[in-house]
A = this chain, B = another copy of it.
Amino acid sequence: MVVILKENPDSGRISDLTAWLESLGLEVHPTVGKVQTILGLVGDTSKVDIELIRALDIVQDVKRISQPYKEANRAFHPDNTVVTIGDASFGDGSCPIIAGPCSVESREQLLEVALRVKAAGATLLRGGAFKPRTSPYAFQGLHADGIKLLLEVKKETGLPIVTELMDLSQLDLFDEVDVIQIGARNMQNFELLRQVGHTDKPILLKRGLANTLQELLMSAEYIMAGGNHRVILCERGIRTFETATRNTLDLSAIPMLHEMTHLPVIVDPSHASGIARLVKPMALAATACGADGLMIEVHNDPAHAKCDGPQSLTPGAFEDLAEAVRRIKPFAYKA
């Protein structure tokens, strides 16, 4: 951390500041120019509140050099974290596929989709029981009944399930759920993050629509600070000025996150573009740049899906995608 002081600071004030910084366990190295004075801080700055220092009246600016996240930081944990659920391992160099409908609508729908995606190679089943919808008048999911259907289909197919938790009041229903998803709109719902950090379940944490990679890792840090280290990060598109696609899939996030963190990073190409025809090319691109997994929306009847139909693949199109991913995987980027 580097503290840049205002011009011609009072030397007594510098001594006070230096003493206070040292009391936080940091070494302080001053650089004194004719006009500008800089304090270089050495030590564990991850728990220093940068805003507190910036507020001091002799300080002009503070710049972090080391990252503010620690548990999630690859610098301190060089080896990949591998999160294994059933037959799927995220972070070991493979690229498992999570597939299923956007929302659980009926036993028939869910079972049919589950059997088809399993046959095509998916190793986890996704399906929403609680649906975050922009409009209060849109379909909000089957709630407890949806979870029940997911567990029935899990039993019948052997596929572990991933489903979204929207509020802590729903947590009791998630006992037999295999992976808890935290949605993009809840990426900074800090109370929710804290609580799932006390569960023993893998957490699939989606990047918020306007959150930086550093903020995504700070949210992972909330979960990990509670003791739960099985966090899977998910890139799902960010908000930009472009309107041809719903969001802009940020694939450079994959190699960039692989440098910043040891956690596995998967990609959801369905929500990013909101257009079914773009799902396959973007799934191949994600695989090519080293994604640790994919999450794909599949519906047996996309034209009548209760939500997000336009981005869902048919089971047939999913088979084609899964096969294409399998073929391209051996030629993908390895760090």
List residues of chain A with CB under 8 Å of any chain B CB: 2, 4, 27, 29, 31-36, 38, 40, 42-43, 46-47, 49, 51-52, 54-57, 61, 63, 65-66, 68-69, 130, 132-140, 166-169, 185-186, 188-192, 194, 208-210, 212-215, 218, 221-222, 225, 238-245, 248-256, 259-260, 272-273, 275, 277-278, 280-282, 284-290, 302-310, 312, 324, 327-328, 331-333
Contacts and interface: CB of A to CB of B under 8 A. Distances in A.
Contacts of A303: 55-57
A281 B290 contact: yes
Contact of A273 (B33, B209, B252): B252
Contacts of A38: 2, 29, 40, 65
A164 to B, nearest CB: 12
Contacts of A250: 240, 242, 248-249
B277 A288 contact: no
Count this chain's copies in the assembly: 4
A225 B133 CA distance: 14
Contacts of A288: 281, 284-285, 287-289, 328
A35 B44 CA distance: 11
B244 A248 contact: no
Contact of A55 (B130, B189, B215, B310): B310
